[in-house]
Structure 1
Amino acid sequence: MTLTFTFDPVVDPALRDGIAELWTEVSNAGGAVGFVPPVTRDVIRPELVKHLAAMAEGRHRLLVGHDERGGVAAAAFLALNTHRLQTHWVWAYTVMVSPALQGRGAGRELMAALADAARSLEGIEAIRLSCRGGLGLEHFYAACGYKEVGRVPDAIRVAPGDDRDDITMLLPLH
């Protein structure tokens, strides 16, 4: 599966709805993208609006991957740091691949395209992301070149009695 990636696409209603649908599918498949299933697009939409508002304000950038049919099959947001001492790195947020494509290399394609997108930004030297423990995500990101640089035990409460570590990963871009 080869995806076609676009960095900073024009966000029209079709793209907005495609991202909302992807986010809903990923969440309902157990993906660690800020929600616990079951969710609907109506539950996802306010968080998506926040991301899109941050894009309009120049604080977030979007990378989207389309499949052969033109559907939104992958997406990730880069959040720029506004603090003057941290403008040399970005956060990766809401990293998503369609459940139908998982295990077929699409996640690695997305992460490689995300690194290329970050490299295209002036002065950016690294990408940081956080991931939810208990799912093996840190192993996936490590295979993509990220290194674990921090862990807060039990910082994410998925459900009563189900706490997960919040793991911070870093990818130097040089």
Structure 2
Amino acid sequence: MSLTFTLDPAVTPELRDGILDLWTDVSNAGGSVGFVPPVDRDAIRPELVKHLAAMAEGRTRLLVGHDTDGAVAATAFLTLNTHRLMVHWLWLYTVMVHPRHQGRGYGRDLLAAAADAARTLDGIEAVRLTCRGGVGLERFYASCGYKEVGRIPAAIRVAHGDDRDDIIMLLSLD
């Protein structure tokens, strides 16, 4: 079984709810996607609305992976850099694979599909993302071709007394 990836799908209520459910499930499973468990859909909804607004403005592109049942199983948001001196790279945000699908190589598939999507965009030479330290994500991204290019110590406060590094990773598309 593999995922079917679509760049810029139509945002239907079903897709919106599928992303919201995915984000909630990933967060509650301990995923590093901007929230700390426990979290519910109502807490995540405002962040999703921001992503959808950026899509409507043409600043962000959505890559979604559906499983064989048609459920939203993975996402990544490709956000164009608007700074005139940095338009040659984009940000990759909210990279998620549903917990029930983890361990099957779908994360690698998602990152490969995101890189392929970035290559279709005029002038994009690199993909940049950040990840939370302390959970091994930098090793996973490195195994997918990303290089650590920066680290801000203790930039992410997960809980009182639990600060994590914000790790900056870059994938050259050349």
Instruction: Calculate the aligned-residue CA RMSD, in Å.
Output: 0.5
Looking at structure 1, the residues matched to 34 and 9 of structure 2 have their Cα atoms a distance apart, in angstroms, of 23
Unmatched tracts of structure 1, length 5 or more: none
Q: State the Cα distance separating 1:103 from its structure 2 match.
A: 1.1
Task: Provide the C-alpha distance between the structure 2 equivalents of 1:112 and 1:66, rounded to a whole number of angstroms.
Answer: 15
CA distance in 2, matches of 1:83, 1:165: 25
The DSSP-based 3-state class of the residue aligned with 1:84 is coil
CA distance in 2: counterparts of 1:136 and 1:113, whole angstroms = 22
C-alpha distance in structure 2 between counterparts of 1:41 and 1:152, whole Å: 29
SS in 2 for 1:27: helix
Q: 3-state SS of the aligned residue for 2:42?
A: helix
C-alpha separation in 2, matches of 1:127 and 1:28: 27
Q: Deviations over 1:49-68 (max 9, x none)?
A: 00000000011100000000
How far apart, CA to CA, are the structure 1 residues paired with 2:53 and 2:148?
Answer: 30
Q: Aligned residue for 1:28?
A: 28
Aligned to 1:159: 159
- Distance in 1 of aligned mates of 2:61 and 2:118: 9
| Alignment TM-score, normalising by the size of structure 2 | 0.99
Letter in 1 for 2:28: N
Q: Give the partner amino acid of 1:102.
A: Q
Paired amino acid for 1:21: D
How does the TM-score come out when normalised to structure 1?
0.99
Q: Where in structure 1 do 4 or more consecutive aligned residues deviate above 3 Å? A: none
Provide the aligned length of Structure 1 versus Structure 2.
Answer: 174
Task: Give the corresponding residue for 1:121.
Answer: 121
In structure 2, the partner of 1:170 is 170
Identity %: 76
The match for 1:90 is: 90
Residue aligning to 1:64: 64
Deviations 1:60-98 (A, max 9, x none): 100000000000000000110111100000000000000
CA distance in 1, matches of 2:21, 2:43: 11
